[in-house]
Amino acid sequence: MEMIVENVQGETPVTILSLQGDLDASNFETAIAKVQGLYASGTRRLLLDLSGLKFMSSSGLVALHSIILLMRGEQPHDLETGWNVLHAIDQNHERKPLPQVKVLNPQPKIASTLQKTGMDHFFDIFTDRQAALASFQNG
């Protein structure tokens, strides 16, 4: 998987993290670490561009949920707990879009996975980049 970071300056700065390729067990921890680094360096608004993401496994879902936790200022999941991480996601009662993290252009297969697993409730999902960036100004 390739990750590209773009910082968009404006009244409300936004970091765009583009994920390209596959998000799976071989790299999901790298994605989590990338967002940890972004948050540590001051990122508080994150647009996840999934237009280049072709495949996402259950490990990818763990990465996305860990990103939500990080952007809330919380610790990500203890990945050593295995399947318990997926149960923790299912039991997360704050199933509403997080204003600091939004998703842009998920491929149909990825969008379907987000919907089937209920992960779509955690994100505002956009198909237009300018509308997504503007939503950070309004929220």
Q: What is the pLDDT of residues 87-102, one digit of tens each?
A: 565 555 455 677 899 9
Second CATH level (architecture) for the domain 2-138: 2-Layer Sandwich (3.30)
User: For the chain, which residues make up each domain, given as ranges?
Assistant: 2-138
d(CA 118, CA 116): 6
User: Residue 74 — pLDDT band, cuts 50, 70, 90?
Assistant: confident
The predicted pLDDT at position 92 comes to 56
Whether the full predicted model's pTM is greater than 0.85, yes or no, is: yes
Residue 30 — very low, low, confident or very high, per pLDDT cuts 50/70/90?
very high
Closest to 48 in 3D by CA, of 108, 126, 119, 115:
126
Return the higher-pLDDT residue of 54 and 58.
54
